[in-house]
Structure 1
Amino acid sequence: MMRRSAALRRTWLDPAMLRLSRSANHSLLWFALAGVLAARKGTTRRGGLRGVAAIAGASAVANLIAKPIFPRRRPAAELLPLHRRLEKRPTSSSFPSGHSASAAAFATAVAMENPAVGAAIAPLAAAVAYSRVHTGVHWPTDVLAGLGIGVGVGAATRHWWPLPETAPAHSEHHVDAPPLGDGSGLVVLANPASGPDDADPADTVKQHWPAARIIRPDPARDLISLVHESLDDTVVALGVAGGDGTVAAVASVAAERGLPLVLLPFGTLNHFARDIGVTTVEDAVAATATGSAVGIDLGLVDVAGDGQRWFVNTASLGGYPEMVRLRERMEHRWGKWLAAGIAMVRVLRSAQPIQVTLNGERRVLWLLFLGNGSYLPKGFAPSSRPALDSGCLDVRYVRADVPYSRARFVAAVLTRTLHASHVYRQADVAELKVEVVDGHRRVATDGEVGPLGNTFTFESRRRALVVYRP
């Protein structure tokens, strides 16, 4: 097969294969593509991130495990004409092809999140794999083995990073909400900081609900108070165009006033809107036109001495609130994603355990997580809710009172054995009272840092909110 490839007549393909093969050195081509995909929200961004994770795994399997175990000489340079040879030929084992493994891993991972984008990348990945034969640095069987490793590792990322549910979460409580038509009686908080830089959520609201009244966040005002003061007796529904933090604030007002909520997914991740089943503005338009809605649970935390806070997704104590606080201080300089990465490294390096009682039982923890509803999977990375009316909180924590707890936690995550680990606990409860023994801590709800406190009562409020959904 190598001799037949070498016998192909000279064409424009020869220099193209040389450039393509070099561009994939150290996976630079795939990292660049991942950056392009990450610039767009949704499945493309998740595909780029999953692709980078798959590259890391495929490179480790191919280069650190398979090559030392299966040493093999590379094809002799003399098999190919001079114009097709790479200037710098690799000296590591020929089997398997690391370039092919990375290419297949990236394409497979992207395709799992976005099949259309994955199908567009697949020919490029195949071309990179063939370029290793065309330039004479791998045998065809090296490439086939590399492709197999890449596909396997790409698919295996689901083991640690489950794919998000495509179907909306279930709720038994179907509600007939008032149809909104042109938006009469609808008040919408439109956050101009949400959504694409060239799109104002207010323009979208006016396009679909021309009679709706629009309010905007005021940096000098508390968001919840601002929304409360914007309501009168003519209001029949509340709307929100923004991310999960903005949604949580408006949802709390809707719950307290007994008003149905119109969701417009203009945030970065839109976890809550995705769970509800409103993934586009058109979904919200269809639901409000007919008055289709469901009743769902909300989480509530009572901070002793500082009032109550609702949450639509998650709440936490421990390292996460500090990470959010550090990210907010740095994101104006570094951007949100880079600031979040820096903050995470700092917090994990300097994290201190917290001593608490959970419903009266003494515990020492690194982190306490609470989800509004029962999340899946039950391991390290909760990603979806099968139901929005379970009446429970998903409580998870990492113990700090066992030897080498952080190392054991990491090992259990990597081997996906958290269910059997002594450092991890999970339970579904209707209410949880947390008392901090060693001082005061901040609670975080839906990614926003809350007040300091030492006594927190978390509970699930059943059918607290009505949300429009198709």
Structure 2
Amino acid sequence: MGDQRSRTAVHEVKAGLRRLDHDVFAAVAGADNPLLDAVIPRLTTAANYSRLWIGAAGAMALTGKPALQRAATRGLVSLACTSLVANQLAKRSWRRERPGHRSVPLARRIRRYPRSSSFPSGHSASAAAFAVGAAVEHTPVGAGLGALAGLVGFSRVYTGAHYPGDVVAGWGLGTLIAVIGGALVPPPTARTDVSTEPLYTDHPGRPDGEGLVLVVNPASGDGTGERVLTHVRKALPAAEIVALSPEDDVVEVLESAAQRAEVLGVAGGDGTVATAAGIALRAGTPLAVFPAGTFNHFAKQMGCATTEQTVAAVRAGTLEMVDVVSLDGDTTLLNTASIGAYPQFVTTRERYEGKIGKTLASAVAAWKVLKEDQAVRIRYDNTTVTTSLFFLGNSVYRPTGFAPVDRDSVGDGLLDVRILEIGRPFARLRITLSLLTGRLGQSPLYHELHRPVFRVEVLGEPTPVAHDGEVGDARSSAEFVSHYRVLPVYRPR
């Protein structure tokens, strides 16, 4: 008895909707508007075979603007998928007769009425798919196209090609497919780059290097340290130079030098420079960095890629105030820190990028690194993730994604944190595909944060935290704090 009542209620609802559909169509068909009669049939004809949308896509592509070109591409892909579903699946599943040309006045009839099922409206489905797909990439253009898609749908009713219900169903189908496409392949996320003007400060010029105490490891950088030592002796004869021996404790030598220095100089790799930076900061002494390591990331960032450039800055007395990051209050870093296999990822990427390009090299490196069992489970804020690739930078690096290269400055007061999550199904494959398609920034497995303080807890066995090219101690937790523009460092203007 209950089933029969339910069937009766459903039947009544369907009958009511059909009556409403026919009544609305009759109202539109009975309208008398010469202006619409002149315009609307031409519009619906222009939309035949999606010519209207293909033309719009071509115009968008010709602008040369990447956002509009992506919008055109996504719109056409959404349209193609929707057309396939509407014509080959939906129309074959639901058969409905069309209103026909006799239902409307002669002035608004189109030349040829389709014989396929009226439900759903293919024109309306394609129009909605193109407009919504374009809107995923470029909202303003998508809004304009949406209005045009609405007119196309109306034209199908006005010319007697479809009932209003067919049009509504077509709009819904096209919108659904475009939205699903946006979820599966998200658009690029606009990133607001942090841009700050460097803060320069003047210091007495030291033409002969008076007051500079330079600590240098002659053996660093395959002999680069020895060349720096020789050059500084000639260029800055008043400077005191301390040459490290293998038996020396670097920290003790740097601390002793800082006590008597007006300027603390250091020639070594990034790890040694970071140690000197912490000591100079505590001593209230400016730092002069001479490039004598393998990569010299910080020296290059400061415009001191050569010894001559550092010498010129010392002679002129020009300094920049830079950020320094502390790790658990007892370790100083100037460039980066990492947990897991990030250093291995960078090494593998650099090995291949000269041959196959950075994008493909990143994908290869990620695949090789992620297939190895180096996962670490961590918690930050209220989030728990499993990762083997964790990167933290002093100031915001560019570009976004997991191949940061450089920074605009070392003075924005922020930490740049990037994490690849590998604890979800098919994570390795999804990350690799995201890297190949340039969509890593939109992947739910990629996390990018910018903040002045970052605390992370390791769930499980303590894990080493590498920093500035050095393998650090194993830790169960780590607190990174950015100290905003606290250290004066010599650099050329």
Q: Is TM-score (shorter-chain normalized) higher than 0.5?
A: yes
Equivalent in the alignment of 1:223: 250
Q: Aligned-pair distance for 1:197?
A: 3.7
Q: Aligned-pair distance for 1:279?
A: 2.1
Residue 408 of structure 1 aligns to a residue in which SS? helix
Q: Is the 8 A contact 1:171 1:294 kept in 2?
A: no
Q: Aligned-pair distance for 1:323?
A: 8.6
Aligned pairs for 1:102-121 (under 5 A) are none
Q: Is the 8 A contact 1:177 1:468 kept in 2?
A: no
Alpha-carbon distance change, 323 to 274 in structure 1, aligned in 2, over 3 angstroms: same
Mapped pair 1:427 → 2:438: no
Equivalent in the alignment of 2:433: 411
Q: Aligned-pair distance for 1:236?
A: 0.4
Mapped pair 1:286 → 2:307: no
Equivalent in the alignment of 2:232: 205
What does the per-residue CA deviation read over 1:173-193, in whole Å, with 9 as the maximum and x for residues that have no partner? 211123222122111121223
Give the CA RMSD over aligned residues. 2.6
What does the per-residue CA deviation read over 1:263-312, in whole Å, with 9 as the maximum and x for residues that have no partner? 2122222211221112222221221112111101011111xxxx611111
Equivalent in the alignment of 1:295: 321
Q: Separation in 2 of the partners of 1:181 and 1:266?
A: 22
Q: Separation in 2 of the partners of 1:355 and 1:195?
A: 36
Mapped pair 1:274 → 2:300: yes
Mapped pair 1:389 → 2:411: yes
Q: Is the 8 A contact 1:321 1:449 kept in 2?
A: no
Aligned pairs for 1:34-183 (under 5 A) are 171-183=197-209
Mapped pair 1:353 → 2:372: no
Q: How does the TM-score come out when normalised to structure 1?
A: 0.55
Q: Aligned-pair distance for 1:443?
A: 0.7
Aligned pairs for 1:321-340 (under 5 A) are none
Alpha-carbon distance change, 275 to 416 in structure 1, aligned in 2, over 3 angstroms: same
Structure number with greater Rg is: 2
Q: Aligned-pair distance for 1:202?
A: 1.2
Q: Is the 8 A contact 2:228 2:307 kept in 1?
A: no
Alpha-carbon distance change, 221 to 403 in structure 1, aligned in 2, over 3 angstroms: farther
What does the per-residue CA deviation read over 1:49-97, in whole Å, with 9 as the maximum and x for residues that have no partner? xxxxxxxxxxxxxxxxxxxxxxxxxxxxxxxxxxxxxxxxxxxxxxxxx
Residue 438 of structure 1 aligns to a residue in which SS? coil
Q: Separation in 1 of the partners of 2:252 and 2:457?
A: 28
Q: Separation in 2 of the partners of 1:222 and 1:360?
A: 41
Identity of aligned residues (%): 38
Residue 350 of structure 1 aligns to a residue in which SS? coil
Q: Separation in 1 of the partners of 2:387 and 2:301?
A: 29
Q: Is the 8 A contact 1:321 1:443 kept in 2?
A: no
Q: Is the 8 A contact 2:370 2:388 kept in 1?
A: no
Name the amino acid aligned to 1:443. Answer: V
Q: Separation in 2 of the partners of 1:319 and 1:381?
A: 14
More helix by share: 2
Q: Is the 8 A contact 2:386 2:423 kept in 1?
A: yes
Q: Separation in 1 of the partners of 2:330 and 2:382?
A: 21
Q: Separation in 2 of the partners of 1:356 and 1:425?
A: 13
Q: Separation in 2 of the partners of 1:212 and 1:451?
A: 35
Residue 298 of structure 1 aligns to a residue in which SS? strand
What does the per-residue CA deviation read over 1:151-179, in whole Å, with 9 as the maximum and x for residues that have no partner? xxxxxxxxxxxxxxxxxx96432111232
Q: Separation in 2 of the partners of 1:346 and 1:256?
A: 42
Equivalent in the alignment of 1:251: 277
Q: Aligned-pair distance for 1:391?
A: 0.4
Q: Separation in 1 of the partners of 2:367 and 2:213?
A: 41
Q: Is the 8 A contact 1:177 1:291 kept in 2?
A: yes
Residue 364 of structure 1 aligns to a residue in which SS? strand
Q: Separation in 2 of the partners of 1:412 and 1:311?
A: 31
Alpha-carbon distance change, 232 to 380 in structure 1, aligned in 2, over 3 angstroms: closer
What does the per-residue CA deviation read over 1:232-288, in whole Å, with 9 as the maximum and x for residues that have no partner? 34x100111222122112112111211111121222222112211122222212211
Q: Aligned-pair distance for 1:420?
A: 1.1
What does the per-residue CA deviation read over 1:405-457, in whole Å, with 9 as the maximum and x for residues that have no partner? 12221221122111111211111111111111111011111010111110100
Name the amino acid aligned to 1:387. Answer: S
Q: Separation in 1 of the partners of 2:306 and 2:438?
A: 34
